[in-house]
Amino acid sequence: MKLTRVKTADDAAAWSKLLIEWESAFLHLTKERSYRKTTAEVPSWVRATQQWWYTHQRLRSGYQVLRRVIDRGHLFTFLDQKLQHLKVPSTTNGIEGGTNSPMRLLLLHHRGMTEEHQRRLIEWWLYMHTEHPDPARVLAEHQARPMKQARPTLNEPDPGPALYDTGLDAGEGLWLRSGWAGRS
């Protein structure tokens, strides 16, 4: 949780020091293995032919992701002095809550539309949220687009009486029975 509170380069250095301390104390856990022969319970994600797996797989995966972004220099990008004028946010919450969430709600409220209409709806929403939207220009472009041609009507002959149907028919023998339970 301390990672989310990093605001300055000094905070980043302090957090990196904490990570190094964690690595010296707990990194060995990411290398522990469990073996099929000695384990009574096998996790559901282990393949049938697999003889061993990492015991703390989720811890290992999380650590590797963290280590990868640190090694590439992507973790504290928002602290870079060259990017300060851009005001790079430290999280993606603005994208999720400010852009993606309203678009999802829009699609939810208009879920009966065809896929083509939904695509156009999202295009329109994105365009109207640009810096200088000009709806008249977009409408002119829309009217200039060629419309899809209507599907041709099929002229097939009438197939005749239905072979299988849901209705009852006297010709099926339902009312022609005589005798006891249909036996003569």
Residues 120 and 46 in one domain: no
Each residue of 3-41: pLDDT tens digit? Answer: 888 888 899 999 999 999 999 999 999 999 999 998 888
pLDDT > 60? residue 184:
no
Distance CA 148, CA 139 (A): 17
pTM: 0.49
pLDDT at residue number 6: 86
DSSP code, position 140: H
Residues 68 and 14 in one domain: yes
Which run of H or E residues covers position 108? helix 101-109
Each residue of 120-160: pLDDT tens digit? Answer: 889 888 888 888 888 888 777 777 666 677 777 777 777 77
The answer to whether position 125 is within a domain reads yes
Q: Provide the CA 59 distance to its chain's centre, in angstroms.
A: 23
Our CA angle for 53, 59, 63, nearest 5°, is 115
Number of domains present in the structure of the chain: 2
- For the chain, the average pLDDT equals 82
pLDDT > 80? residue 172:
no
Residues 16 and 79 in one domain: yes
The answer to whether position 175 is within a domain reads no
Distance CA 169, CA 172 (A): 6
